[in-house]
Amino acid sequence: MLGIIGAMDQEVAKLKEMMTEVEITKAASMEFCKGKLNGTEAVVVRAGVGKVNAACCTQALIDHFPVSCVINTGIAGSLQASIDIGDIVLATDALEHDMDAVSFGYGLGQIPGMEVFSFTADEKLRKIAKEGCEKVNPDISVHEGRVVTGDQFVSSKEKKTWLVEHFDGCCTEMEGAAIAHVAYLNQIPFLIVRAISDKADDSAHMDYPTFEAKAIEHSVRLITEMAGRLA
């Protein structure tokens, strides 16, 4: 059974529309939609925005359903010139860029007490996603790299430069690493899929509303294709 998590209604509404044999379960003030997506058993849920909502949602998903993996779909801001609006980023790993325990001798982004600096995504899921995306979204590019997460909408060149210099991220968003963190603790394979909606710079507030719908369309095609391949 696939666990599919999105941050906002727009991100999961289209996936829910495609599901059959639907059953609804409510937990942690969230609605979990269980059914079949492209022939595969899946649970789709909206987590809400931010790391706490994302982490809470992921743990509730794992506790209430026998998911074999967790796929987080959503949108993000590009941190690299080669990654254009509309493109897809598949996470190789993810980290929390706003974790700062430097005063205690830790590096930026390092979570005290954790054995890993970043959370590594499942290679098999990433390969399936890449092949699937190239099939259903042939007009865009698929990138693989680090996703950096924090409780802030990045919309300045200064912050964008800081994220690249310190973490070498491909894109930035607000939920992925929290979901990866919980999946890691539960030893559940995961993948973060991000469609690029803006450039995470001074143009972000203008770009985001314009390109959000297109980014979500690309994600929905990919996740539906992935579900069929994981049947």
11 labelled catalytic? yes
Q: Reduce the DSSP state of residue 122 to 3 states and report it.
A: coil
A 10 A CB-CB count for 48 gives 17
Q: For strands 40-46 and 30-37, give the pairing.
A: antiparallel
Give the relative orientation of helices 9-18 and 204-229 as an angle to the nearest 10 degrees: 30
Nearest C-alpha neighbor of 179 from the set 88, 58, 97, 82: 58
212 labelled catalytic? no
Q: Which of 11, 173, 175, 225 is labelled catalytic?
A: 11
Q: Which of 198, 201, 207, 225 is labelled catalytic?
A: 198
Per the structure block, which two tokens stand in for 199?
């450039």
Element holding 134 (H helix, E strand): helix 123-136
Question: Do the beta carbons of residue 101 and residue 110 sit within 8 Å?
Answer: yes
Active site residues: 11, 198
